[in-house]
């Protein structure tokens, strides 16, 4: 078969042709000019961003008959053979299929021999992260002190999987994903070489579907040219690539703004009937919402928007329908739905649930507004039919002055002090102390089992035991157990404390003043009533 794909046909042949990796190519060119080329490199990044291409260019620059040079001629035998991938002295290894120790041993033996013809012997190991641990170990010494005229280039999409011992022996270059405009510019240049006409919508659809990979963009371009011929039309290109048209997003967001759940579900049904990949659609919707957030925050003319000019007025119009917090909430809902749909047996159910959440999201009242209502004593907002307890009347005339309102929190934090916590807080503090005590002494831990009260007050941890467990009190008053218990408590609260152990002389643990004030506070009572919650822990800020 004589046809050569566009991605191979227009593969960069010089450093200046590489798209979007200017910092890396300039660094390599300077290293060649100043004779500071390292013996090992790691090229990492997503697929199709130029890792293997740059590795070949570096090999051509070092082995060109006119080199070493930052501008290889491309005409000598060495340059042509490296470009074709059949050079004797530039060995490309696919680590995904040659990942064992035997292959690396063979490679290591190969490094002992001088280049057959060229100036350097270069080994390009693609998908290097696929090598086994034993293979990496076999490569270590050779990679650290390779023979003269030998160079290693490791290309990988998952650099974090390379052992640190390998990374420390190489110079690491991270290739970035290309942005929208860089891919569009490359597509326009290729189309001019191929004498193919395309509108802006077609290029936008291809660039978006490529997701930052220039090789993917060229492969998709090859596909749509095969389907459309010499003229690319946006609607046809979107149909071939399965890209959702912007008009459908506009229709969906309009339904969300109108809180029209029926229309939103009908759109989900159409997507399913027309054969769209629902997970892919959810990802596209997330990117569209991201564009709306940018249009709302930075304006529709912002350079952060990677969309064609014809799309910007639509984004500006839709962005005016929602608040920034609404769009942020939508963004979060869709991202979570996309993540769940990847593993769902029926993605349509997840999509429909996400669309219903988007429709109802605008009805949610901000928590700050509800708190302000509680503080001001204004009547609660109307609830749905068959509503809940928050519909009860709020006193119209709250007390003119109240005692200082204590701080209420769900769980105690290290270093906080209270006159005495509620039982849930006691369990939390006591549970942590029991765990710390168990690590020091099982006897100490068993002594703490009958404790009925525990709190931190003025740098002192109080333990209260029932009257029928006086033996535990006597045991904990010994110097040895006191030291162990004090150490355990210090670890829990984060500072040195004193220990107070006593029997329960009352029917129950007394409630502190702050606790009483919190429970009698009108605002706290209304908050508990409206949200159906309970006071878990009280800190008296007036004592700090």
> What pLDDT, on the 0 to 100 scale, is given for residue 533?
79
> What pLDDT, on the 0 to 100 scale, is given for residue 408?
41
Is there a contact between 21 and 53 (Cβ–Cβ < 8 Å)?
no
> What pLDDT, on the 0 to 100 scale, is given for residue 57?
93
CA distances from 168 to 44, 153, 164, 302, 470 (A): 15, 14, 6, 41, 63
Topology (CATH) of 6-174: Rossmann fold (3.40.50)
> What pLDDT, on the 0 to 100 scale, is given for residue 398?
41
> What pLDDT, on the 0 to 100 scale, is given for residue 491?
86
Whether the link from the prior residue into 170 is cis, omega within 30° of 0, is no
For residue 350, give the nearest of 280, 264, 279 by alpha carbon. 279
Is there a contact between 83 and 74 (Cβ–Cβ < 8 Å)?
yes
Q: CATH classification of 407-513 is 3.30.470.20, yes or no?
A: no
Answer CATH for 180-241 from 3.40.50.300, 1.10.8.60, 3.30.930.10, 1.10.3720.10: 1.10.8.60
Give me the tens of pLDDT residue by residue for the chain, a chain 544 residues long: 577 889 888 999 999 999 989 999 999 999 999 999 999 999 999 999 999 999 999 999 999 998 789 999 888 889 999 988 888 899 999 888 888 888 888 888 888 888 888 889 999 999 999 999 988 988 888 888 888 889 999 999 999 999 999 999 999 999 999 988 899 999 999 999 989 999 888 898 899 888 889 999 999 999 999 988 888 888 888 888 888 888 899 999 999 999 999 999 999 999 999 888 899 899 999 999 999 999 988 888 888 888 888 888 899 999 999 988 889 889 899 999 998 898 888 899 999 999 999 998 877 766 666 667 666 665 555 444 433 333 333 343 444 433 443 444 433 433 444 333 333 333 467 888 888 888 788 778 888 888 888 888 878 888 888 877 777 788 888 888 888 888 888 888 888 888 888 887 654 444 456 776 777 777 777 777 777 777 777 776 654 4
Is there a contact between 87 and 54 (Cβ–Cβ < 8 Å)?
no
Q: CATH classification of 246-361 is 3.30.9.10, yes or no?
A: no
> What pLDDT, on the 0 to 100 scale, is given for residue 172?
94
Sequential DSSP letters for 69-105: -SS--S-SHHHHHHHHT--SSEEEEETTTS-SHHHHH
Return the domain boundaries, the chain.
Answer: 6-174, 180-241, 246-361, 407-513
């Amino acid at each position: 078969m004589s046809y050569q794909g566009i991605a191979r046909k227009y593969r960069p042949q010089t450093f200046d042709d590489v798209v979007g990796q200017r910092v890396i190519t300039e660094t390599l060119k300077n290293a060649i000019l100043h004779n500071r080329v390292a013996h090992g490199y790691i090229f990492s990044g997503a697929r199709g961003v130029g890792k293997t291409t740059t590795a070949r260019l570096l090999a051509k620059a070092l082995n060109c008959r006119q080199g070493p040079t930052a501008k290889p001629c491309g005409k000598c035998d060495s340059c042509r053979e490296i470009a074709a991938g059949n050079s004797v002295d530039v060995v490309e290894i696919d680590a995904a299929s040659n990942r064992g120790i035997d292959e690396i041993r063979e490679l290591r033996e190969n490094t002992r021999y001088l280049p057959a013809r060229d100036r350097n012997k270069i080994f390009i190991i693609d998908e290097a992260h696929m090598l086994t641990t034993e293979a990496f170990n076999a490569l270590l010494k050779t990679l650290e002190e390779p023979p003269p005229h030998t160079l290693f280039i490791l290309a990988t999409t998952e650099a974090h999987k390379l052992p640190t011992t390998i990374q420390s022996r190489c110079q690491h270059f991270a290739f970035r994903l290309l942005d929208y405009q860089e891919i569009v510019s490359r597509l326009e240049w290729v189309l001019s070489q191929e004498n193919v006409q395309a509108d802006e919508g077609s290029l936008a659809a291809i660039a978006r579907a490529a997701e930052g990979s220039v090789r993917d963009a060229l492969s998709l371009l090859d596909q749509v040219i095969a389907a459309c011929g010499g003229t690319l039309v946006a609607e046809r290109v979107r149909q071939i690539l399965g890209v959702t048209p912007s008009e459908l997003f506009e229709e969906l967001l309009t339904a969300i703004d109108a809180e029209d759940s029926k229309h939103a579900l009908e759109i989900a049904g159409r997507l399913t009937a027309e054969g769209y990949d629902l997970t892919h659609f959810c990802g596209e919707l997330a990117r569209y919402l991201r564009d709306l957030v940018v249009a709302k925050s930075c304006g529709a003319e912002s350079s952060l928007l990677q969309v064609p000019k014809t799309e910007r007025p639509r984004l500006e119009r839709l962005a005016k329908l929602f608040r920034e917090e609404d769009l942020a909430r939508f963004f979060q809902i869709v991202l979570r739905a996309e993540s769940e749909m990847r593993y769902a047996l029926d993605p349509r159910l997840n999509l429909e649930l996400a669309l219903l959440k988007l429709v109802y999201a605008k009805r949610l009242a901000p928590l700050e507004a509800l708190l302000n209502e509680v503080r001001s004593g204004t009547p609660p907002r109307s609830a749905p039919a068959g509503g809940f307890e928050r519909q009860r009347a709020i006193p119209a005339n709250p007390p003119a002055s109240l005692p200082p309102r204590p701080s209420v929190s769900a769980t105690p934090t290290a270093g906080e002090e209270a006159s005495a916590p509620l039982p849930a807080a006691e369990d939390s503090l006591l549970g942590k102390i029991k765990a710390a005590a168990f690590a020091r002494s099982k006897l100490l831990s068993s002594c703490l089992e009958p404790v009925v009260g525990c709190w931190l007050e003025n740098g002192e941890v109080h333990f209260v035991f029932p009257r029928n467990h006086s033996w535990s009190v006597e045991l904990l008053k010994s110097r040895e157990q006191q030291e162990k218990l004090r150490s355990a408590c210090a670890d829990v609260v984060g500072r040195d404390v004193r220990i107070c152990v006593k029997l329960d002389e009352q029917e129950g643990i007394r409630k502190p003043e702050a606790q009483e004030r919190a429970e009698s506070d009108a605002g706290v009572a209304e908050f508990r009533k409206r949200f159906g919650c309970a006071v878990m822990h009280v800190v008296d800020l007036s004592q700090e």
